[in-house]
Amino acid sequence: GVIRTALPNMDREVKEQYQVLIQAKDMGGQLGGLAGTTTVNITLTDVNDNPPRFPKSIFHLKVPESSHVGSTIGRIRAVDPDFGKNAEIEYNIVPGDGGNLFDISTDENTQEGVIKLKKPLDFETKKAYTFKVEASNLHLDHRFHSVGPFKDTATVKINVLDMDEPPIFSKPMYTMEVYEDTPVGTIIGAVTAQDLDVGSSSVRYFIDWKNDVDSYFTIDATEGTIATNELLDRESTAQYNFSIIASKVSNPLLTSKVNVIINVLDVNEFPPEISVPYETSVCENAKPGQVIQTVTAADKDLSPAGQRFSFRLSPEASSKPNFTVHDYRNNTAGIETRRNGYSRRQQELYFVPVVIEDSSYPVQSSTNTMTIRVCRCDSDGTILSCNVEAIFLPVGLSTGALIAILLCIVLLLVIVVLYVALRRQKKKDTLMTSKEDIRDNVIHYDDEGGGEEDTQAFDIGALRNPKVIEDNKIRRDIKPDTLCFPRQRPPVEDNTDIKDFINQRLQENDVDPNAPPYDSLATYAYEGNGSVAESLSSIDSLTTEADQDYDYLSDWGPRFKILADMFGEEESYNPDKVT
């Protein structure tokens, strides 16, 4: 059983499903045969035989001027009766008025055309845009080309809505220049922003403070002029970058921001200086005109293109025939010798003042002193030594010899120090020994004592009162070798004359073989050498009695005047006795 179409040009869009009742008979369909029936469901498949069609020719859309780029501003849709991929539609904006500000794409789920904003809108610039959109099938069937073009066109009209917008700067970025050391308060430029809305509002400006760098400048809130607030130094900061904000007076919340770059221009305020080390060397065997050092200059200022440095020798050094400066005219110079050979023994260091000038305005110059050290070199000019040791090497003294000489000098100094220390120690021991000897009291102390008021040095009680003599008292002025017992003396009678007592003691010592041969200060009050009255000791005293004159004691002072009067009276009373 073959089923065939009975009608031409069946349309799926009109009717898609068909049901056909089929009967089958045996016996060739003759009478008496048996029959059976069944239903056949027939579905028409779709072909792209229908182009897309817009339901209306004009679409009206509205969009705020503050809409962001890329945002969706509206949707349009073309109808295609086909099914599946035959109904897939592609939308395109026909080039024309305002079409470059918008873009359209297809929503795969709904087959709608989605219109998006491609560029920002401005109500004050243009209030409406009109353009055409074309819808076409992606998959065409060549059997139906004769039906006509499978696309449709509609007009889209977009009206821009006015919104309250922030002020707009005249430039996207501002670049300004100012010289360093410009006085504070100098205006260096201005920014401008406008409110383009209907019934525009005034604008106020202020700096977006982010760090301390912004404090170097100020801005006039009304005019937008930028001025310096502090002195600028290009060597410290060559460029400043900050932002300025503009806001509407009617709505301060609406603000806009712009970036400002200020370049600090250089002022020639620093002189050039030598950029190489200030010390170099020259060989003793150098020849005239030999270049010993090439110098270059460096300037802290921002050197403009084509800046030149000039080099010359200082005027006060030009008269000295030692070195000269040769300017190569390429911002370098050479230090050249002017004499044949140098001697370290005569002069080890030379100081060459080099004057460097720049070509900026105003001209700055500086004097740099090069230190040149004379060194010993070989015949090829290779430096062998520049230190102090090298000066002694030509004399024939090696390093070992110099060390030996220094060691000898140190040894001699140590010997001298030890000798002086021993001499001082020996002298100190001698003084201590002499001070321990009691006999040296007479030698070292040439002191006549305090007279009658001095009762500390010696015991003169025996002279005043013979009764207080201690019979067993050992002599204090000597250091006896062996302990000896005191001699038995006859008792002294009361009221014995002092002269008789002295004479008696004198005679005892004269005839005593054990008496020491030196004076006893405690008993006889020896006054030492050099006394005008001479000694009263038994050594120098005479055993014979002779007349003496005591008047000279009056010349010694008031203390001895009483003694002179006392002995003078005794002499007048007993003229036959002498002391």
Per DSSP, the three-state class of 326 is strand
- Say what the pLDDT of residue 173 is: 94
Question: How much is the mean pLDDT over the chain?
Answer: 78
CATH 2.60.40.420 is right for the domain spanning 168-265: no
- Say what the pLDDT of residue 409 is: 94
**Following DSSP, what letter does each residue of 374-420 receive, concatenated?**
EEEE-TT--EEE-STHHHHGGGT--HHHHHHHHHHHHHHHHHHHHHH
470 and 462 Cβ atoms separated by less than 8 Å: no
Using alpha carbons, list the distances in angstroms from residue 444 to 189, 440, 448: 103, 6, 12
What confidence tier does 31 reach under pLDDT thresholds 50, 70, 90? confident
- Say what the pLDDT of residue 45 is: 82
- Say what the pLDDT of residue 188 is: 92
When the candidates are 2.160.10.10, 3.40.50.300, 3.40.228.10, 2.60.40.60, the CATH number that belongs to 273-385 is 2.60.40.60
- Say what the pLDDT of residue 487 is: 52
Average confidence (pLDDT) over 448-473: 52
Using alpha carbons, list the distances in angstroms from residue 37 to 17, 22, 25, 278, 382: 20, 5, 9, 122, 126
Rounded distance between C-alpha atoms, residue 533 and residue 554, angstroms: 12
Per DSSP, the three-state class of 358 is coil
pLDDT digits (tens, 9 = 90+) for 316-363: 887 888 899 999 988 899 999 988 888 888 888 999 999 999 887 778
Average confidence (pLDDT) over 228-242: 88
Query: Which position has the higher pLDDT, 452 or 472?
Result: 452
508 and 579 Cβ atoms separated by less than 8 Å: no
Residue 189 carries which side chain, given as an amino acid letter?
G
Residues in the chain: 579
* pLDDT for residue 437 is more than 80: no
Rounded distance between C-alpha atoms, residue 288 and residue 320, angstroms: 14
169 and 191 Cβ atoms separated by less than 8 Å: yes
Query: Domain 58-161 class?
Result: mainly beta
Asked whether this chain's domains 168-265 and 273-385 adopt the same fold, the reply is yes
Task: Give the least confident one: 53-62, 301-310, 427-436, 504-513.
Answer: 427-436
Out of 139-143, 522-526, 541-545, give the one with best mean pLDDT. 139-143
pLDDT digits (tens, 9 = 90+) for 360-418: 777 888 889 889 999 988 888 788 888 655 444 444 556 777 888 999 999 999 999 99
* pLDDT for residue 484 is more than 50: no
Residue 185 tokens, joined: 């308060």
Task: Name residue 257's beta-bridge partners.
Answer: 245
Domain boundaries, the chain: 15-44, 58-161, 168-265, 273-385
- Say what the pLDDT of residue 394 is: 46
| Residue 254: alpha-carbon gap to chain centroid | 46
Parallel, antiparallel, or unpaired: how do β-strands 35-43 and 89-94 relate? Answer: unpaired
What confidence tier does 473 reach under pLDDT thresholds 50, 70, 90? very low
